Amino acid sequence: MGAGKVSAFSSPFTLTVVRLGYRITQVMVNALRISIFVPVVCLFVLVCAPYAWGETEDLMPPVMPGDTSEPPDVLKSPFYPCSGCHATMKVNYTKRVPSAHPDKELKGHGEPIRWCLDCHNAEDRDFLRLIGGEKVPFEKSYILCGQCHGPVYRDWQYGAHGKRTGYWNGEKTFMICTKCHNPHHPRFPRITPEPAPTPPEETLR
């Protein structure tokens, strides 16, 4: 009988049972691997997706936490929402002054190398776009400006440029760049100097 035990593996039936047992163990180990691997991958994707798919919220530094601003003028424009017309229009990438927006001709804003769709999101016209293609709402246009005007942007963030009202240690309201600068022709027009004052000897009788 003892010999029978030793030779049990040579019996085709026992061999099949042992093989089956081994397969089942393999499947269970794989299942265990998957049960660890899948949640880890899911967690990775969940954590990284907002960065990979350009969730703009993370790219938006707060001006100062809690500060507020007035909504930009564009929201009151008869042309807003832009998607009212543009959602059904084909994007035209030809550099030109669009006939529908003649007053938006760029002046003094790098127009030899730049154009409308460098700032306005081509596919969703209700948004602006950053250099990397990320969408930015009109309310946060200062992030767009800040990409090229770094030093002024930093001054503005801390209140040295632009205008801020409210309490020094309480609620504050800030003005966004476009309240003062027209993004299409940002330079303020030159002021013609007043004539020199009349010298006193000429005003005496």
15 to 74, contacts with ligand HEC by CB under 6 A?
72-74
User: Which CB atom, from 113 or from 204, has the smaller least distance to ligand HEC?
Assistant: 113
Neighbour-count burial of 159, counting CB atoms closer than 10 A to its CB (0-12 exposed, 13-18 middle, 19+ buried): middle
Would you count residue 121 as binding ligand HEC (CB under 6 A)? Answer: no
The residue from 39, 110, 133, 166 that contacts ligand HEC (CB under 6 A) is 110
Tell me the closest approach of the beta carbon of residue 133 to ligand HEC, in angstroms: 13
User: Which CB atom, from 40 or from 89, has the smaller least distance to ligand HEC?
Assistant: 89
User: Which CB atom, from 52 or from 137, has the smaller least distance to ligand HEC?
Assistant: 137
Stretch that binds ligand HEC, among 20-28, 53-61, 102-110, 191-199 (CB under 6 A): 102-110
User: Which CB atom, from 50 or from 98, has the smaller least distance to ligand HEC?
Assistant: 98
Residues that bind ligand HEC in the complex, under the rule CB under 6 A: 72-74, 77, 79-80, 82, 84-86, 91-92, 97-101, 104, 106, 108-110, 114-120, 125, 128, 138, 141-142, 144-149, 152-153, 156, 161-163, 175, 177-181, 183-184, 186-188
